[in-house]
Structure 1
């Protein structure tokens, strides 16, 4: 029984007529249909000569088609979902980097993804059937001899994702079925997910948050996944009204967009209370948590996740347990500790690098001994984040180690400065960041998006000075129309000085 409940296919709860998957304008798929379709498509891929160990790129926007394609591919091979918005050069890089043998597209496909294909890559088209299931057909590329029909086992690599490297070349993260199963088990127990739950999937499905935090955890708990094509703040409340989701998980920027439209949708907000709202992928400023809980009348649970941990590492718990804004909660099925530079574990209240250990954590980066030597110490994975555990074991993050601003020897957590700025009534978005400085090494600036363009730098400095030590107050403010973000919606803190052409002061 070693393999029981340890693969992506095992995570599809039950084979009955409950609705597993739905989307606007698309037929519902039941668990019975979904399981059957996933197995049929996996067998079809085997027939195309694709099986265990083969890497299959998927370039499909969020949709039921993407969900089914991912599940089918992971069930017999290794799924490599890619951001459908990549340009041709980026697709070329990722096909080569993952050693892709095939590409799956939906219907006519994405031009840039198809343009990047070399003759040795098999192109497979997924099309939707009237009942909501999918069909696969080969459209071009090299003929491969059929493989024996074979399903993945718990130790096989289900999916290969890349770290969202803000500065360096992204690292390949091979995630095994057993890592996914462990992470999904932790998520379903942390949030007490059940067949009574309906989730609205807002996160991209080429990213661990969408794949594990939304898709797999919903299916493993027997709930219903609503999968619109991507996130649209203008449509969110309409979807809530139609599908009545009991929870959703999103990144901070999405929460802020949802919150900003809540006042216009008061009746919907009142009529459809969430059981809980989850935030991950980047820090959610405490002030936003306060506003969301007050406006949306649901507990907001901030959590902490990484690709290398197959998503969840720590989270604030559901009520009646205590959630502490400003922390990311504590480990659920994951050991969380603080380590100093020499590899010694620290006491509670001491700060250092956050390290984690658990069945959800991957064995290492692929073909990257140097990165692995740096990332793993005595069986602990070093997250690269700085933080401390409070007396109750809740984790408070103070920022990425490399994002910490060192102003003439005084260390500044940019997150603390972000939170103060966001409490200003005229500031909608804010990011504090380091700029090079001849004397100090680094100084601190902030980029902001404001509702009132007449606000002055003096006012902002005075406002920060009331709550922050003088050395933490940004020396300069850059008022922008929007803050630059990476593909997964993460703020580009490390690149800000470069993006704004700020040279040494």
Structure 2
């Protein structure tokens, strides 16, 4: 079986003396040291009896050790990163659903995951960071006695599952997505090729590493190109610019809400931006409002590259290209790895300009959900994976999304795209952030509502905003309710979840 498209093969491309993993305030871990660490962890896990198909849940804080643990554990078994902020009942659900074989947790870290693991007689592996050592270096401890394996030298193959992640599960039980070594390395190489990454590049990672965006775009794409990824403790707009000055990255990648927060801070950190070596900024995992793209480019002085990704595609599906090729605000760009098409409900591929569901196929796309034949039957049509997103492809191949099919607002039979309303609201000079969502209605079924965060020092009334939207859009698209917030409610990966927002904001009573 193929071994060239594995995570270990991906790491082999970096020069032994070059830094692979960095972190603020710490010396970097070289490729040579990273490869030694991966081999050591591989040997330890085999000696303790863990096999390729065993799923080990990672319960680790964001940072360099999370990045190296993912790489090392995935070389020997199957990784399942979990949000360390989960409560006991959440750990219970995810560990049971995963049928986890063990958990890996930071030494001394208090977490309900420990008690949940004990209840299930799961071995607890502890990650022990190396004091004063390079970023990401660690040793492993296991509370269970070693159980010699008959396959100590077994190496991963392209078709082996390296990573399993749950879908967000906003409206139903989360589905389990298996991603093979082949899926992950294909996606990493697609991203690296599109962005022209090389040994001289450094990515400042502010994305959580229990999420596909951070794992593949920031970590694997960088390492697959022989570059460096600098792992922070997580997103913090107040600390970003000090990390930025120290790391001197050539790029960073984030979700739109993070970019919006950084635009606000950029005005107070002009000195940090005067001597940077950024080549570009990347945005993915949610639609980037055109206004935010323009503000980012103005603040940082580099192009903003909007990409389109999802877990089932091992992240990237489409992306705007780097200059001098054209990039368009409001478009997620060209196919950037897998094939991308538009399909109707009957399974027919549609011509340019016709609205339908975005479908994909390619080496980075999962073969199907775990133990879920019903979901797989719905998700795959003629070999194409249905993304659940609605959009159009233009004659030049640029993809424009109108929203998630489940998030479209059905106002008495008239369909409203939340993204379209967001874009209009963000044109108002007082509006800093906006998210449009469905509001239950007794006669129409759903009506249009919006949550807004105003710019600092700005004021506007609900009536004034409604009139502003009414001057640009049809009456049925004008929000019936607009609520003003100091901060938009976000999920653990920084994305705003439109589904269920009316209930979370107390607007359904």
TM class by shorter chain equals over 0.9
**Unmatched segments (≥5 aa) in structure 1:** none
Matched, 1:131 2:133: yes
| Aligned residue among 472, 481, 484 for 2:489 | 484
CA distance in 2, matches of 1:41, 1:283: 38
- In the alignment, structure 1 residue 120 sits paired with structure 2 residue 125: no
Show CA shifts across 1:29-59 (max 9, x none): 1000001111111111111111210000001
Aligned length: 502
CA apart distance, 1:500: 2.6
Is 2:443 aligned against 1:444?
no
**1:457–1:477 CA contact under 8 A, matched in 2:** yes
Deviation at 1:193, TM superposition (A): 0.6
1:386 matched to which residue of 2?
Answer: 390
1:293 to 288, 294, 297: 297
Could you say if the C-alpha distance between residues 110 and 146 of structure 1 is closer, same or farther in structure 2, counting changes exceeding 3 Å? farther
Classify the secondary structure of the residue corresponding to 1:264. coil
Q: Deviations over 1:3-54 (max 9, x none)?
A: 22x1111111235111111112333110000011111111111111112100
Show CA shifts across 1:413-456 (max 9, x none): 10011111122222222111111222222110111122457521
Match of 2:8 in 1: 9
C-alpha contact (below 8 Å) 1:102/1:123 kept by paired residues: yes
Q: Report what 2:370 is aligned to.
A: 366
CA distance in 1, matches of 2:165, 2:313: 12
Q: 2:59 matched to which residue of 1?
A: 59
8 Å contact from structure 1 (residues 109, 125) kept in 2: no
CA contact (8 A) 1:336 1:356 kept: yes
CA RMSD of aligned residues (A): 1.5
The 3-state SS of whatever aligns with 1:117 is: helix
CA contact (8 A) 1:14 1:222 kept: yes
- Structure 2 match to 1:257: 261
Question: Matches of residues 77-476 of structure 1 in structure 2 within 5 Å?
Answer: 77-118=77-118, 119-129=120-130, 130-132=132-134, 133-138=137-142, 140=143, 144-149=147-152, 150-451=154-455, 454-476=459-481
| SS of match in other structure, 1:9 | helix
Q: Aligned in 2, Cα 1:228/1:147: closer, same or farther, shift over 3 Å? A: farther
Given the two structures, how large is their TM-score scaled by the length of structure 2?
Answer: 0.96
Aligned partner of 2:34 in structure 1 is: 34
**Mapped partners of 1:211, 1:60: distance in 2:** 13
Q: Is the 8 A contact 2:165 2:176 kept in 1?
A: yes
Structure-1 separation of matches of 2:475 and 2:145: 64
Shift, 1:257, TM fit: 1.1
Residues 285 and 147 of structure 1, relative CA distance in 2, 3 Å threshold: farther
> In the aligned structure 2, how far is the partner of 1:341 from the partner of 1:256?
35
CA distance in 1, matches of 2:409, 2:145: 51
Q: SS state of the match for residue 443, structure 1?
A: strand
CA distance in 2, matches of 1:29, 1:84: 24
